[in-house]
Structure 1
Amino acid sequence: MYESFLKTIHRHLPATTRRILLAVSGGVDSVVMTHLFMQTGITCGIAHCHFMLREKEADEDEFFVKTLASLYGVPFFSEHFETRQYAEENRLSVQMAARELRYEWFGRLRLENRYDLIALAHNRSDQVETLLINLARGTGLRGMTGMKVLQGNLFRPLLFAGRKEILKYARDHNLSFREDSSNQETYYTRNRIRHHIIPEFTEMNPRFEETMLENIERFTETEEIFLYGLEMIRKRLLIQQGDRYLIKLDELMKTPAPRTVLHELLKEFRFSPAQADDVFHAISSSPGKQFHSHTHRLIKDRETLILVPRQEPEKDVYYIEEGTIKVEEPIHLSLRMLERTPEYSIPSDPDIACVDRDLITFPLILRKWKKGDYFYPFGMNALKKLSDFFIDRKYSLLDKEQTWILSMGDRIIWIVGDRIDNRFRITSETKRILEITCHRFAERMVFK
């Protein structure tokens, strides 16, 4: 068994790995894992979780693991958790609460004490149980591939060994370990599968565990093919423009399984499967519907889904005083006053506004548009509601939110980056020109 353990280490551990934190409950799996690691010469520490669920028995587990760490002469870390309280506050099962608490603490402990990896004592039998749990709860292809030996900062070096092999190793080496009485309680899903479901399947197929592990290997290879094809689709459908991403709806709907593709694309933006379903059902609805994950906002536009990072609300109004030549917040503007000369040519760049300086009274106001805003678009003598102007120009909801208005009191001078108000245009009577330039940056891009 030690030889297989060494092969796993040599095959999966990065060459830079020097320090590993061992998650040790005191049960046979983690005790055997610890014994194997102690023979490798790798620097280790031992971490133990006390979930305050089994009172005296849990106290004895903690003492046992502390003694084990002392026997091996390695650092010992322990943490007590109010697991039931955490479960109630977060509406989780006790098992899921313990899992969240455990992994959060392990991650923090690893960073604080500069360990490279966290070693977990999951074994081959756990793989089969996990697959059955995932199937019972509902899963996609990824949930059928089992646990990985190396997954981020988590290392599972015993996935090659079954529970019987681990028990035999412990007996052969006279290793003491703790028996968790709760492992016999079929109230927990994993225990019910272990003690009732798997024995039934094994009666039907004596090689049930081996068969399921072979299935996991096939599922894993199938997932690799799936991910390869998904990456090709991703490059075609997902377009990055600054800090925003666009998903082209017509291309999405041409894929063989658009709902599944959308699930996969939105996963990296922290949208849940249920949210991805809601987005998919909204594709045929009117533009403007919004969805929020912890990190991003998704807006359903006419031909695309727009994804942008969630941001803190911006200040509503900014004032530009007379004499200002540079504005750096909330957008970058530069202002200069010019005398009108026959040689002066008005730039055609929409990011440059040229207005009659003598019609301007400071301070100017830089703000977002609001309902009821209107102006006289350049070249027109009739007023137009800004909302109608945006529709004509095919602004998306996000474009409207990111558009800034330069005004003088209630009178709009310029829709920044687009159109000036006709009332402030340069005419034959103009003697002085106020030239305002918007220095476009990634966050301000209008797509038409």
Structure 2
Amino acid sequence: MLERFKTHIQNNFSFLMGKRLLLACSGGLDSVVLAHLSVWSDLDVTLAHCNFNLRGEESDGDELFVRNLADELKTEVEVKPFNTQEQVQLGKGSVQMVARKLRYHWFNELMDDKGFDYILTAHHTDDNLETFLINLSRGTGLDGLSGIPAQNDKVIRLLLNFSRNEILDYAQKEKIKWRDDSSNQDNKYLRNKIRLEIVPQLKELHPTFLENFKQTQTYLHQTSAIVEQHIEALKKSLFKREGDRFEINIERLRELQPVEAYLYQLFNTYGFTEWGDVKQLLTAMSGKEVHSKTHRLLKDREYLILSKMELDNKETYFVSEKKCNVETPVPLKMDEVKTIGETSKNTIFLDKEKLNYPLILRNWEKGDYFYPFGMQGKKKISKFFKDEKMDVLSKEKQWLLCSGNNIVWVIGKRLDERFKVDDSTKTILKITLSV
């Protein structure tokens, strides 16, 4: 097995040589064998052990075992105790979920603080099969059936091509000692029930079941790669970038069949999960939107607009009379000039003496109105936005330059008539939006 392991690294993970690796070691069979194989393959590993304090003296025994293992292998070790049960009682999730969150949060801290390059875990083929069956029982798509990836960003699983029996046989042959976790025999956990009751029956039905499963996984990964290539090509065609967002033509989306499957493939990487709501956007009124934790999907006329979630920007900025340049929240340059030059949406000239300082920069609010330059009478900002055919996201990001309660300039759009230069103007102020 050692030679197969070395060949596996050479063929698929040669980039690990010379890197600093954090090896998650519980003290159980799989992680202990991985530790031995890694050290004997000249990988630079440091053992990392989590003491979740869930099994009293047994948990402390695991910790001592891993410390002694590090001495035996002449490698470094990191150990962290956790009050796991307290986190569970605070409603942070099940024992297994909380333990996993605590484990990976600590691993990532170690990587940042001590400069580790990758995390090694001891998942193997049987773990992959169990994950496949769990996902299958809950209902899943192609991603769920593809199982555990050999590499997920900085997490690498070097034993994924090896079965539990192969690992056990190797440990017994090399007289490697390990610790048995009593909780692994508890059938109240779904994974244990599948491991102890279902998988043995599947293997009994067909002697080569595990090998057949590995081959099926290979086919599924290949199919997944084809789907991914197709979706990436489709995204390049459908997703039109406009600044910090994407616009997607709804009519073209509706032509895709089956539309639900395409919506999932196109938008699942942005965190969306409510696919019924996403589909309804295709026929919803403008202004309707669906949120994920990181993104928002907005219906705007014939487009869906995809953008990152942002906190509501209600901040107000003040501009003193002495200030000539403004960088935040929008870049403005202010100069006193003697004559009016060429005006545009981004350059205005106004009567400085009509201004009350400090000027105010803020987002628009419901009820705002101004007197558009060149027009008689006032107009609500919301009506002005509608006439300008501005979408919801553009409205949210629109900044106003104000003098007291009066809007001076809908920045980059229109000056207010009340502040224009006239025959009585003594000081002309030129303001330019740098774009």
Same fold (TM over 0.5): yes
1:103-139 per-residue CA deviation (whole Å, 9 max, x = no partner) reads 2222222333333322211111111111111111222
Shift of 1:375: 2.3
Match of 1:41 in 2: 42
Distance, in Å, in 1 between the alignment partners of 2:309 and 2:273 is: 19
Q: How is 1:10-409 mapped onto 2 (pairs within 5 angstroms)?
A: 10-15=10-15, 17-18=17-18, 19-269=20-270, 271-274=271-274, 276-314=275-313, 316-322=315-321, 324-340=323-339, 346-347=342-343, 349-357=344-352, 359-360=354-355, 362-409=357-404
Shift of 1:83: 2.0
Distance, in Å, in 2 between the alignment partners of 1:317 and 1:331 is: 12
Distance, in Å, in 2 between the alignment partners of 1:259 and 1:247 is: 16
Structure 2 counterpart SS, 1:273: coil
Residues 313/14 of structure 1: CA separation in 2 closer, same or farther (3 Å cut): farther
Match of 1:419 in 2: 414
Shift of 1:426: 4.9
Task: Report if aligned partners of 1:244, 1:308 keep a CA contact under 8 Å in 2.
Answer: yes
Structure 2 counterpart SS, 1:366: strand
Residues 325/161 of structure 1: CA separation in 2 closer, same or farther (3 Å cut): closer
Task: Report if aligned partners of 1:263, 1:277 keep a CA contact under 8 Å in 2.
Answer: no
Distance, in Å, in 1 between the alignment partners of 2:84 and 2:184 is: 17
Residues 319/82 of structure 1: CA separation in 2 closer, same or farther (3 Å cut): closer
Distance, in Å, in 1 between the alignment partners of 2:241 and 2:81 is: 45
Residues 104/416 of structure 1: CA separation in 2 closer, same or farther (3 Å cut): same
Shift of 1:47: 1.6
1:191-246 per-residue CA deviation (whole Å, 9 max, x = no partner) reads 11112222333343332222222211111000000000010111122233333333
Root-mean-square deviation (CA, aligned residues, Å) is 2.6
Distance, in Å, in 1 between the alignment partners of 2:247 and 2:22 is: 42
Distance, in Å, in 2 between the alignment partners of 1:107 and 1:146 is: 23
Residues 125/399 of structure 1: CA separation in 2 closer, same or farther (3 Å cut): same
Distance, in Å, in 1 between the alignment partners of 2:323 and 2:45 is: 62
Structure 1 counterpart SS, 2:144: helix
Structure 2 counterpart SS, 1:353: strand
Shift of 1:365: 3.3
Task: Report if aligned partners of 2:16, 2:43 keep a CA contact under 8 Å in 1.
Answer: no
Distance, in Å, in 2 between the alignment partners of 1:164 and 1:68 is: 22
| Bigger mean CA deviation after superposition, 369-378 or 276-285 | 276-285
Task: Report if aligned partners of 2:314, 2:363 keep a CA contact under 8 Å in 1.
Answer: no
Query: In the alignment, residue 188 of structure 1 is paired with which amino acid?
Result: Y
Residues 87/361 of structure 1: CA separation in 2 closer, same or farther (3 Å cut): closer
Structure 1 counterpart SS, 2:40: coil
Shift of 1:363: 4.5
Query: In the alignment, residue 49 of structure 1 is paired with which amino acid?
Result: C
Distance, in Å, in 2 between the alignment partners of 1:111 and 1:329 is: 32
Structure 1 counterpart SS, 2:372: coil
Structure 2 unaligned spans of 5+: none
Distance, in Å, in 2 between the alignment partners of 1:320 and 1:93 is: 52
Residues 406/164 of structure 1: CA separation in 2 closer, same or farther (3 Å cut): closer
Match of 1:3 in 2: 3
Distance, in Å, in 1 between the alignment partners of 2:358 and 2:6 is: 74
Matched, 1:439 2:398: no
Distance, in Å, in 1 between the alignment partners of 2:304 and 2:123 is: 41
Query: In the alignment, residue 74 of structure 1 is paired with which amino acid?
Result: T
Identical pairs, percent:
39
Distance, in Å, in 2 between the alignment partners of 1:183 and 1:361 is: 73
Distance, in Å, in 1 between the alignment partners of 2:359 and 2:61 is: 73
Structure 2 counterpart SS, 1:76: strand
| Bigger mean CA deviation after superposition, 373-382 or 223-232 | 373-382
Task: Report if aligned partners of 2:313, 2:363 keep a CA contact under 8 Å in 1.
Answer: no
1:74-109 per-residue CA deviation (whole Å, 9 max, x = no partner) reads 112222222222234344221222222222222222
Question: TM-score normalised to the size of structure 2?
Answer: 0.90
Query: In the alignment, residue 397 of structure 2 is paired with which amino acid?
Result: Q
1:258-287 per-residue CA deviation (whole Å, 9 max, x = no partner) reads 433433444443x2423x543333342223
Task: Report if aligned partners of 1:23, 1:121 keep a CA contact under 8 Å in 2.
Answer: yes
Residues 427/33 of structure 1: CA separation in 2 closer, same or farther (3 Å cut): same
Shift of 1:311: 4.2
Distance, in Å, in 1 between the alignment partners of 2:29 and 2:219 is: 30
Structure 2 counterpart SS, 1:407: strand
Distance, in Å, in 2 between the alignment partners of 1:60 and 1:346 is: 80
Residues 104/12 of structure 1: CA separation in 2 closer, same or farther (3 Å cut): farther
Distance, in Å, in 2 between the alignment partners of 1:364 and 1:155 is: 55
Task: Report if aligned partners of 1:12, 1:150 keep a CA contact under 8 Å in 2.
Answer: no
Distance, in Å, in 1 between the alignment partners of 2:247 and 2:100 is: 36
Residues 307/54 of structure 1: CA separation in 2 closer, same or farther (3 Å cut): same
| Bigger mean CA deviation after superposition, 422-431 or 100-109 | 422-431
Shift of 1:422: 3.2
Structure 1 unaligned spans of 5+: 441-448
Query: In the alignment, residue 15 of structure 1 is paired with which amino acid?
Result: F
Match of 1:445 in 2: none
Distance, in Å, in 2 between the alignment partners of 1:312 and 1:53 is: 39
Residues 384/212 of structure 1: CA separation in 2 closer, same or farther (3 Å cut): same
Distance, in Å, in 2 between the alignment partners of 1:60 and 1:361 is: 74
Residues 5/288 of structure 1: CA separation in 2 closer, same or farther (3 Å cut): same
